[in-house]
Amino acid sequence: MQIATPAAWYETRRLDDGVTHIWEPHIRPFYRCNMWHVRGRDRDLLVDSGMGVIGLRQQVAILAVRPVLAVASHTHFDHIGSHHEFAERAVHRAEAEILAAPTREATLASTYVQDKTNTDLFTMLPPAPYRSDAYAVSRAPATRLLDDGDIIDLGDRRFEVLHLPGHSPGGIGLWEAATGIFFSGDTVYDGPLIDDAYHSDVGAYASSMERLRSLPVRVVHGGHFASFGRERYLELIDHYLSEKRCHQPKVGSSAQRIADSSAKQRPA
């Protein structure tokens, strides 16, 4: 497989609303994390930091000059690889330990990043001396622990933290009510959703989706794949919930409660 140059590892695109999309073009779409940069008056926000195989701040000029708070939507390897490059780092407290001491197992790298999976993962390899078998996320203890309802204040823009367990226990979304922008992490994106990782919880995932259904979003920037609007957002949530209602959920789980309540509403 061909080897990419450091300068070609990241690409960026400026969107509306002061948001810049940053991504790793040589990682295949299913594994390719979306990074989101928001320019603020007092400091900037970075949602997720990619695989960390090439210095992100070295290569992406907008991240090098101003103070940046690097938030982790959650702690899978594809989202936190460059967090250690930033002085300010935030994560939900349920995954603080993984960001502080990221093992290959806890970050899912042991499952997805091995030399034998290189062609699944990459279209071009990261620059030498990269080896997938030796790949590991650098430790990046949080300087701020997040809880549901916390506000991330950039001076002129405010993002509310929504705790959305399910894909992982400390998954969060960031909601900007003033613009209707929602950074949804791996909870909702326009592609196959993952609820069977070692620390996933289908019942919690369904509850998170039910909660998100009432959020008046205008545009969703997810952890993977392309951004989308309100209509697609509702479709994706409803599709997930209807699929889970069809399966036999665990007794007492929130998915069971959903199944029970919809059964009661069904006309006899």
Interface residue list for Zn ion (CB under 5 A): 76, 78, 186, 223
Here the tokens at position 202 are 């289908």
Q: C-beta of 228: minimal distance to Zn ion in Å? A: 17
157 versus 233: smaller Cβ distance to Zn ion: 233
Query: How many angstroms separate the CA atoms of 194 and 180, rounded?
Result: 25
Query: How many angstroms separate the CA atoms of 62 and 97, rounded?
Result: 29
176 versus 186: smaller Cβ distance to Zn ion: 186
Cβ proximity of 68 and 45 under 8 Å: yes
Here the tokens at position 27 are 């990682």
Q: C-beta of 65: minimal distance to Zn ion in Å? A: 28
Beta-strand runs (E) in the chain? 11-14, 19-23, 35-38, 44-47, 68-71, 88-92, 144-146, 151-153, 158-163, 172-176, 181-185, 219-222, 228-229
37 versus 199: smaller Cβ distance to Zn ion: 199
Query: How many angstroms separate the CA atoms of 233 and 175, rounded?
Result: 14
**In the structure, how many helices (H) and strands (E) does the chain have?**
8, 13
Query: How many angstroms separate the CA atoms of 249 and 247, rounded?
Result: 6
114 versus 200: smaller Cβ distance to Zn ion: 200
* Nearest residue relative to Zn ion (C-beta): 76
Q: Is the dihedral of CA 189, 195, 200, 206 positive or negative?
A: positive
Q: C-beta of 168: minimal distance to Zn ion in Å? A: 6
Q: C-beta of 76: minimal distance to Zn ion in Å? A: 4
81 versus 223: smaller Cβ distance to Zn ion: 223
Q: C-beta of 164: minimal distance to Zn ion in Å? A: 12
78 versus 176: smaller Cβ distance to Zn ion: 78
Q: C-beta of 262: minimal distance to Zn ion in Å? A: 28
